[in-house]
Chains A and B, each alone.
Chain A
Amino acid sequence: MRVVRWFIALVILAGICWWFPLFHVATMKTATAEKAAVTFNATVFAETYWTNQLLASFAKTVKADLLLPAIQADSGAAKIKFARSLGLSASYFYFVSGSGHVVAVSDDEVSLAIMPASTNTEVSLQTGLVFGNALRDGTGLLNTSDYPNSQDFNDISAALNHLVEARVLPKLREQAKVGANMSFVGCAEVDDETTDLKPLKVIPIQTEVQ
Chain B
Amino acid sequence: MNANTKERFKKLQPLIALAVMVIALTLLSDKFLTFANQRNILLQISVNLCLSIGMTLIILTGGIDLSVGAMLGLAGAVAAGLLKNGLGLKVFGVVLQFTPFGAIVAGILVGLALGWFNGFAITRFKLPPFVATLGMLSIARGLTMLWTGGFPVTDLGPKFGFIGAGFFLGVPMAVWISAALVVIFYFISKRTTLGRYIYAVGGSEKATAFSGINVNRVKIWVYALGGALAAVAGLIVTARLDAADPKAGLGYELDSIAAVVIGGTSLSGGRGSILGTVLGCLIIGVLNNGLFLLDVSPFWQQVVKGVVILAAVAADKMGSRRE
- The total number of A-B Cβ pairs within 8 Å is 53
Which residues in window 182-239 of B have CB below 8 A to A?
none
**Which range contains the number of B residues in contact with the other chain?**
20 to 34
Are the CB atoms of A28 and B95 closer together than 8 Å?
yes
Q: Nearest Cβ distance between residue B290 and chain A, in whole angstroms?
A: 22
Majority DSSP secondary structure for residues of B touching A: mixed
Query: Which of chain B's residues have a CB closer than 8 A to the CB of A27?
Result: 93-95
A148 to B154 alpha-carbon distance, docked (Å): 10
- Tell me if A116 counts as interface (CB < 8 A to partner B): no
Contact with A along B77-117 (1 / 0, CB 8 A): 00000100111101001111111011001100000000000
Contact with A along B112-131 (1 / 0, CB 8 A): 00000000000000000000
Are the CB atoms of A22 and B154 closer together than 8 Å?
no
Are the CB atoms of B94 and A24 closer together than 8 Å?
no
A148 to B242 alpha-carbon distance, docked (Å): 9
Query: Which of chain A's residues have a CB closer than 8 A to the CB of B152?
Result: 151
Are the CB atoms of B96 and A25 closer together than 8 Å?
yes
Majority DSSP secondary structure for residues of A touching B: mixed
Known: A31-B86, A148-B242. A23 touches B97 (CB 8 A): yes
The one of A23, A148, A151 in contact with B98, judged by C-beta atoms closer than 8 angstroms, is A23
Are the CB atoms of A31 and B95 closer together than 8 Å?
yes
Q: Which residue of B lies closest to A31 (CB)?
A: B95
- Tell me if A6 counts as interface (CB < 8 A to partner B): no
Q: Which residue of B lies closest to A16 (CB)?
A: B101
Contact with B along A80-105 (1 / 0, CB 8 A): 00000000000000000000000000
- 28 A/B residue pairs, CB under 8 Å, sorted by A: A21-B101, A21-B102, A22-B98, A22-B102, A23-B82, A23-B86, A23-B98, A23-B99, A23-B102, A24-B99, A25-B95, A25-B96, A26-B86, A26-B95, A26-B97, A27-B93, A27-B95, A28-B88, A28-B90, A28-B93, A28-B95, A31-B86, A149-B154, A149-B242, A150-B154, A151-B152, A151-B155, A152-B155
